Amino acid sequence: QSVLTQPPSVSGAPGQRVTISCTGSSSNIGAGRDVHWYQQLPGTAPKLLISRNNNRPSGVPDRFSGSKSGTSASLAITGLQAEDEADYYCQSYDSSLSSSVFGGGTKLTVL
């Protein structure tokens, strides 16, 4: 059971908007810890997608955005494209565990 909870899967048609939630607790997201998001395309290593809740590294399209409120965070993807089909992971730091923690991952299917 992952410390951060994500839905196992989401789907959407090309051009649509989808969101992926990441729910934590008072020892991680709720404690003010930042949330970061990674995209893992099939058969490849994870890649940083969103850092510090809502910051896009250079090269990441502005179709990707992040937000955080309370003990949860969300990743939004607008204008869905076929190449967005991947696994998405949220990550934060847990003060009780004294460790970095990941969500269980969400598989995005573009219909």
Partner 1 sequence: QVQLVESGGGVVQPGGSLRLSCAASGFTFNSYAMHWVRQAPGKELEWVAFMGYDGSEKNYADSVKGRFTISRDNSKNTLYLQMNSLRAEDTAVYYCAKDVFGTTPYYFDSWGQGSLVTVSS
Q: Where are the beta strands (DSSP E) in 13-98?
A: 18-23, 36-40, 47-50, 64-69, 72-77, 86-94
Choosing from 28, 39, 74, 91, the residue that interacts with partner 1 (CB under 8 A) is 91
Element (H, E) at 110: strand 106-110
Selection from 31, 41, 38 nearest residue 64 by Cα:
38
User: Toward partner 1, which CB reaches closer, 78 or 87?
Assistant: 87
Choosing from 30, 34, 56, 64, the residue that interacts with partner 1 (CB under 8 A) is 34
Q: Give the interface segment with partner 1, choosing from 12-20, 60-68, 71-79, 87-95 (CB under 8 A).
A: 87-95
- Which residues of the chain form contacts with partner 1 (CB under 8 A)? 2, 34, 36, 38, 40, 44-48, 51-52, 57, 89, 91, 93, 97-105
